Copies of this chain bind each other. A is one copy, B any other.
Amino acid sequence: MSIGEVLAHLRTDFPDTTISKLRFLEAEGLVEPSRTAAGYRKYSAGDLARLRYVLTAQRDHYLPLRVIREQLAARDREGAGEPAPPGGPRRTGAGEPRLRPALSFVNPRVESAAPERAEGVEGGEIRLSRAELAAHAGIGDDTLVALEQYGLVAERPGGGYDADALEVAMAAARLAEHGLEARHLRAYRAAADREIGLFSQLVAPLAHQGGPAARARAAERVRELAGYTERLHAALVRRGLRETLGR
């Protein structure tokens, strides 16, 4: 495949790929396509898979190219029958190297005592202590520290944690069981910040009109907007999973 054809393939999954980026990734030693007699790049299916690996690692795991290059180099060494580096990725067969999210982060002692869901909790009016939050969500203090560090959970100004903090902590605990650590959830904080920023700017004229009626209308409009973006997001994810998981 030519560089242009590779670009077309990748664009469906990675819309901001460019020819310049593909050449850059080669210059950085992440792929080595063969060449035609005239010097044109010729990408194999393996090269394409390698590029997908690189782009995925960048997007979903925030890895810098240096680290990705080392992972690929380790995989190449293993493939050549040389000894695997200590702690390096294991082989998963003939395919691409696997990005394995670490399984850790849930504290089993606490978890056994935790309820599956917090019941009767909706308003945001509850207040939990730090220890209560951790126990209810089924997470350890180290996890709570990580969640706070990434801005996913925060104490209320008056002190204590509210129902939303609990909701976040509980979701994080379940996701952790499937290998998603607090670090992987940074993107959700960023996405929420973006959405909040957009919404509040859109309704700022209304909200700043002063009256409580205007404020209520602003809040209503935000709920409406949030509903549409939720549907948008869900549809995009459905489509992507259908394509990725086959059929």
Contact = CB atoms under 8 A, between A and B. Distances in A.
Interface string A1-32: 00000000001111100000000000000000
A1 B213 CA distance: 35
Contact of A197 (B60, B194, B232): B60
A197 B187 CA distance: 13
A60 B12 CA distance: 24
A116 interface: no
Nearest to A184: B198
Contacts of A218: 245
A13 B15 CA distance: 28
A179 B235 CA distance: 21
A170 B239 CA distance: 15
Contacts of A231: 167, 170-171
Which of A12, A98, A192, A215: most chain B Cβ within 10 A? A192
A18 to B, nearest CB: 14
Interface in A222-240: 222, 224-226, 228-240
A174 interface: yes
Contact of A245 (B101, B154, B165, B215): B215
A239 B59 contact: no
Interface residues of A, number: 76
B236 A152 contact: yes
A104 interface: no
A162 B240 CA distance: 13
Interface string A162-200: 101101101110110011100011011111111111111
Given A167-B231, A171-B231, A193 B14 contact: yes
B235 A60 contact: no
A241 to B, nearest CB: 6
B187 A191 contact: yes
Given A12-B151, A164-B238, A174-B228, 10 more contacts: A15-B151, A59-B193, A59-B197, A167-B231, A171-B228, A172-B232, A175-B228, A178-B225, A196-B240, A200-B244
Q: Give the 4 A-B residue pairs with the shortest CB-CB distance, closest first.
A: A192-B236, A196-B240, A167-B235, A60-B197
